[in-house]
Structure 1
Amino acid sequence: MVTETKKYQLRRLHDASYGAILPVENLYCGNLNGYSALYIELPFPTHRKGLHVQPKGKYLRAFCKGDWNNLPGRYTEILAYAKENNLQFCGSAYEKGINELVIDT
């Protein structure tokens, strides 16, 4: 990631948030470790060749505070909410991490 910060002229890594992309097919199958990519979110969006741009659309947003082991339970709640409200997911889920050193858990 240090190379990426230099490449996109970020002063420090925490000038950008980071995360992982999980295909919806993996989410529905319960394969919560089946990430397709890691990403850093640039503070100044740019359209350069080779960069992924998150598609526009409606997203269901949820938060998970605490240990990373809490994520499967949170995804279970998200899927239950979607089912109860007749929501169908497509594309990918975008997980964004917040630096554990700067939050109060």
Structure 2
Amino acid sequence: MSAMSGRYDSVPIASTIVSDGTGGLREVRYLRRRALPDPRDVLTAAVHRVTAADRLDLVSHRYLGDPTAWWRIADANGAVDPDELTGPQAEGDLIVIPLPGV
């Protein structure tokens, strides 16, 4: 496993009190919204030309050494839907690979 941090490691935890449905109250903890980085501020390690057979986890493993760090590539490219970055529909597209840990 890589020493990289997780996608939500730096997101603060908040809480709220809600009805428990039986007349009581309970505390619900949740993660606050995660701010996405501006893709223009990403430090680029590489640029990858997508093939029809690419999967984001495999691309992440190839460049970042961790298949679970796919979200770093998604964030670096401003992807709302990470699945749109790879696969036959994205063949030939260029995607930015960020520097690891940034």
Q: TM-score range by the shorter chain?
A: under 0.3
**TM-score (structure 1 length as normaliser):** 0.26
The higher relative CO (CA closer than 8 Å, separation ≥ 6) is in: 1
Larger Rg: 2
The structure richer in strand per residue is 2
